[in-house]
Amino acid sequence: MSAVQRIRGGIGADEEYWLAIERGEFRISRCRHCKSWMWPANFRCGKCGSWDIDWEPVEPIGTIYTWTRNHAVSEALAERQADLPYVTLLVELPQAGGARVAGVLEGDETALKIGAQVRGRILPPSDKAKGYGSVVWSIESDAA
Amino acid sequence: MTRSMRGSAAIVGIGQTPYYKRGTSPDAEMKLALRAIVSACDDAGIDPRDVDGFVSYGSEHNTGQKLVPGLGTRELRFGALAWTHGGGIPAAVGIAAAAIHAGQADVVAVYRAMAEGSNQRLRVAVTQNDTPAQFLVNGIDMVMQRSAMRSRRMIEVDGVPAETLETIARVSYYHAQNNSGAVGHGRMLTHEQYAGSRFISEPYHLFDCSRENDGAAALILVSADRARDLKQKPAYVLSVPMGAGADGGSREDNHEPYTSVGMIGLAKRMWAESGYGPADVDVAQIYENFTGMAVQSIIDHGFCTAQTAGDFVTFDNLIAPSGSLPINTSGGNIADGFIHGMGSMVEAVRQIRGTSTNQVPGAKLSMMAGGPGDSMTSTGLFGAFETL
Work out the angle at residue B301's Cα, subtended by the Cα atoms of residues B298 and B305, and round it to the nearest 5 degrees.
65
Beta strand B235-239 with A117-123: parallel, antiparallel or unpaired? unpaired
Residue B1 scores a pLDDT above 70 = no
pLDDT in tens, B351-363: 999 999 999 999 9
- In Å, how far are B23, B104, B129, B183 from B219, measured between CA atoms? 24, 18, 29, 21
Residue A113 scores a pLDDT above 80 = yes
Say how far residue B3 (Cα) sits from the centre of its chain.
26
Q: Give me the pLDDT at residue B130, please.
A: 78
Own/partner contacts of B191-197, CB < 8 Å, gap of 24 or more, are B191/B166, B194/B166, B194/B169, B194/B170, B195/B166
Contact A99 B254 (CB under 8 A): yes
> Distance from A142 to chain B by nearest Cα, in Å?
20
Nearest Cα to B247, choosing from B233, B238, B234, B260?
Answer: B260
Give the helix ranges, DSSP H, for B230-385: 264-274, 291-300, 309-312, 315-318, 342-353
Residue B234 scores a pLDDT above 50 = yes
Question: Which H or E run contains A18?
Answer: helix A15-22
Say yes or no: B163 contacts chain A, CB-CB below 8 A.
no
pLDDT in tens, A87-99: 999 999 999 999 9
Are B87 and B342 within 8 A, CB to CB?
A: no
Percent of chain B with pLDDT over 70: 96
Furthest-apart CA atoms within chain B: distance in Å: 56
Say yes or no: B59 contacts chain A, CB-CB below 8 A.
no
Residue A3 scores a pLDDT above 80 = no
Residue B207 scores a pLDDT above 50 = yes
pLDDT in tens, A62-108: 999 999 999 998 888 999 999 999 999 999 999 999 999 999 999 99
Q: Give me the pLDDT at residue B122, please.
A: 55
In the DSSP assignment, the letter for residue A133 is -
Q: Chain B contacts of A104, Cβ < 8 Å?
A: 138-139
Rg of chain A over all Cα atoms, to the nearest angstrom = 16
User: How does DSSP assign B162-206, residue by residue?
Assistant: THHHHHHHHHHHHHHTT-TTSTTTT-PPPHHHHHHSPEEETTEEG
CA distance B209 to B212: 10
**pLDDT band (50, 70, 90) for residue A143:** very low
CB pairs under 8 A between A and B: 121
What ipTM was estimated for this complex? 0.95
Give the helix ranges, DSSP H, for chain B: 29-44, 64-71, 89-101, 116-119, 133-136, 142-156, 163-176, 191-196, 224-227, 264-274, 291-300, 309-312, 315-318, 342-353
Beta strand A61-70 with A117-123: parallel, antiparallel or unpaired? antiparallel
Say yes or no: B156 contacts chain A, CB-CB below 8 A.
yes
Residue A8 scores a pLDDT above 90 = no
Over residues B34-47, mean pLDDT? 98
Q: Give me the pLDDT at residue B141, please.
A: 84
pLDDT in tens, B117-140: 766 555 554 545 678 999 999 999
**Between B129 and B388, residue with greater pLDDT:** B388
pLDDT, mean over chain B: 95
- What is the value of pTM for the model shown? 0.96
CA distance B212 to B193: 21
Over residues B66-93, mean pLDDT? 96
pLDDT, mean over chain A: 94
Q: Give me the pLDDT at residue B57, please.
A: 95
In the DSSP assignment, the letter for residue B209 is B
Cα of first residue to Cα of last residue in chain A, in angstroms, is 43
Contact B152 A67 (CB under 8 A): yes
Are B254 and B279 within 8 A, CB to CB?
A: no
B-interface mutation test, from A6, A63, A88, most B Cβ less than 10 A away: A88
Say yes or no: B132 contacts chain A, CB-CB below 8 A.
yes
Q: Which residue of B has its CA nearest to A93?
A: B254
Across-strand partners of A61?
Answer: A119
Q: Give me the pLDDT at residue A144, please.
A: 40
**pLDDT band (50, 70, 90) for residue B157:** very high
Q: In what order do the strands lie in the sheet with A53-57?
A: A37-38, A27-31, A53-57
Residue B282 scores a pLDDT above 50 = yes
Cα dihedral sign for B19, B23, B27, B31? positive
Residues with Cβ within 8 Å of residue A39, at least 6 apart in sequence:
A28, A29, A96, A97, A99, A100, A101, B252, B254
> Distance from A89 to chain B by nearest Cα, in Å?
8
Q: Give me the pLDDT at residue B117, please.
A: 72
Residue B230 scores a pLDDT above 60 = yes
Which residue among A8, A65, A72 places its CB closest to the CB of B129? A8
CA distance B270 to B243: 12
Q: Give me the pLDDT at residue B121, please.
A: 56
Residue B218 scores a pLDDT above 90 = yes
Work out the angle at residue A118's Cα, subtended by the Cα atoms of residues A116 and A121, and round it to the nearest 5 degrees.
165
